[in-house]
Amino acid sequence: MRLVTFGEGEGRVGVLDGDEITVLDVGTMRAYFERGGADETGERVPLAETRLRAPIVPKKLFHTAGNFREHEEESKRVGWTHEIAPWIVFFQNVDAIVGPDEPVVYPEHLTEELDYELELAVVLRKAGKWFSPEEAADYIGGYVIFNDITARDIQRREMRSGVFSFCKAIDTFCPLGPWIVTPDEIPEPHDLAMELRVNGEPRQVSHSGRMSVTIPEILSHYSALGYSAGDVLSTGTVSGVAGFSPDAASLYLQPGDMMEAEIERIGVLRNPVVSWQEAHGEPAPPRVRW
């Protein structure tokens, strides 16, 4: 089942069925998981006549990092003051979430090194705390694509303290979508091809089976913090990010670029990059030096 949020404002909730959306009797996707599901209203909306939104705005977005060994290895090229390795966690700014086809705004007054990070994210089916890896499957409500946009120049400075959060939490830096795919359609989340393209060119090509730690282990490890129904937990990016490449400057995102983040069995999350001027109708504020 593919769960979608669609329409204007905060949107409506439904199930994608071919070229139509079957509308559900619930106000938000968070409420869908809090209620443990929803009934069909009988209304159907043609997909071509509406707009898909970010499928969910969670109460908490657990951002975990360093879970792919290949990304850990490529990070050593840039000489961070602190290592990128499993068991890094921080909270993402949920106000930065955008949905499919919504633009990522390039804040040129803040950064000159805008980067992409393809990630598989998990949606929590129900609230929970202190559960084991063996119990984790019962808490998974679905899977969604997350593109962890990062300002590398800001991150480089933040890493002096070992903390990086602002660089990933700027407005529009959290593309999520295009829908939530329920676990019955993805029986093995560690067997999914992953690819991120910029203007059709493959940049990140990998596989979810390359995680250093498993999704149940990640979910269990952070369950000590307590999950709410509808929370989202990212599982880290794969290799191939611009900032850790030998020719990083030529690969950073620019206004006019189109990103396509694809994960097998889920779909494709597309987001254009636009300038501050295009997004806001005025020049960017004065340059901020970090």
If DSSP codes are grouped into helix, strand and coil, which group holds residue 175?
strand
Instruction: Indicate if the alpha-carbon torsion angle 218, 224, 225, 228 is positive or negative.
Output: positive
Give domain status of residue 123, yes or no: yes
Q: Which two tokens stand for residue 136?
A: 């984790």
**Whether residue 101 is found in the same domain as residue 38:** no
What are the φ and ψ backbone dihedral angles of 133, each rounded to 5 degrees? -60, -35
The verdict on residue 285 lying in a domain is no
Tens digits of per-residue pLDDT, 15-48?
999 999 999 999 999 999 999 999 999 999 999 9
Closest by alpha carbon to 53, among 13, 23, 93?
Answer: 13
User: Do residues 16 and 136 both lie within one domain?
Assistant: no
pLDDT tens column, 240-287: 999 988 899 999 999 999 999 999 999 999 999 999 999 999 999 999
- Which run of H or of E encompasses 13? strand 12-17
pLDDT (0 to 100) of residue 87: 84
pLDDT reported for residue 81: 65
pLDDT under 70: residue ranges of the chain: 79-82
So what's the pLDDT on residue 78? 73
18 and 88 together in one domain: no
d(CA 153, CA 30): 34
pLDDT of residue 289: 79
How many angstroms from the chain centroid is the CA of residue 273?
Answer: 16
Say what the alpha-carbon torsion angle 258, 261, 264, 268 is, to the nearest 10 degrees. -50
Tokens describing residue 103: 């633009």
What CATH number should be reported for the domain holding residue 36? 2.30.30
* HSE toward the beta carbon, residue 227, CA cutoff 13 A: 32
Residues 36 and 155 reside in one and the same domain: no
When divided into structural domains, the chain yields a total of 2
Tell me how far apart the alpha carbons of residues 193 and 29 are, in angstroms, rounded to a whole number: 26
Q: What distance separates the 2 farthest-apart alpha carbons in the chain? A: 57
The range of the structural domain enclosing residue 15 comes to 2-49
Q: 283 preceded by cis ω (within 30°)?
A: no
Token pair 């109708």 in the structure block, residue: 281
